[in-house]
Amino acid sequence: MGYSMNTIYVKNARWISITKIIDGHDGILSVANEMGNIPFDIKRVYYIYNLINHRNVMRGKHAHKSLEQVMFCLNGQCSVTLDDGNRRQNIILDQPDKGIFLGTHLWHTMQEFNSNCILLVFASQLYNEDDYIRNYDEFLETVKVPRLISHTIK
Ligand code: TYD
């Protein structure tokens, strides 16, 4: 548990906790609310499953220009690599009520899936291939911090 909740230090990403209701019934009920714990209007929901744990299996490998998303692992676990162009970190997604906010201009990959892993994603926009940056060098160009010009004062 501690491992999966390590501090996120890359830009444009953060943990999102959703409501967890543990009442007199069996089981746990978790609630995601548009403009509540999900910080945008939810336009699209998709899920990824039937994953296999193989060293070549990797999803993502892109960044988005304007799409915002929140990803949950509903079952099993996987690792997510976040890269803001400056710093890179690896996190484990393994709790159904702890998601990761994926903001814009954030290169991300998902890998090391358990075979029972199910990922659920809330997205702020409909699918649009033009919003993807699928080339890593192009991604680095878009996030490049402008170089400070050093002036020689005479
Ligand atoms: P992609 O976003 O690259 O998947 P991941 O990041 O999980 O690896 O999408 C994989 C394919 O599915 C790609 O051809 C686009 C298509 N797709 C849609 O048609 N609609 C969608 O909402 C999504 C998320 C993907």
Give 103-135 pLDDT, tens digit per residue: 999 999 999 999 899 999 999 999 999 999 999
Question: Closest Cα to residue 74, out of 104, 36, 32, 124?
Answer: 32
Identify the pLDDT of residue 41: 97
Q: Are 32 and 38 contacting, i.e. CB atoms less than 8 angstroms apart?
A: yes
Question: pLDDT tens-digit profile of 60-109?
Answer: 999 999 999 999 999 999 999 999 999 999 999 999 999 999 999 999 99
pLDDT > 90 in the chain, percent? 82
Q: Are 151 and 68 contacting, i.e. CB atoms less than 8 angstroms apart?
A: no
Is 62 an annotated catalytic residue? yes
Atom 12 of ligand 1, nearest CA residue? 127
Catalytic residue among 25, 62, 64, 151: 62
Point out the ligand 1 atom lying closest to the alpha carbon of residue 121. Answer: 24
Three-state DSSP class for residue 91 = strand
Residue linked to tokens 């994603």: 121
Query: Which pTM value belongs to this model?
Result: 0.91
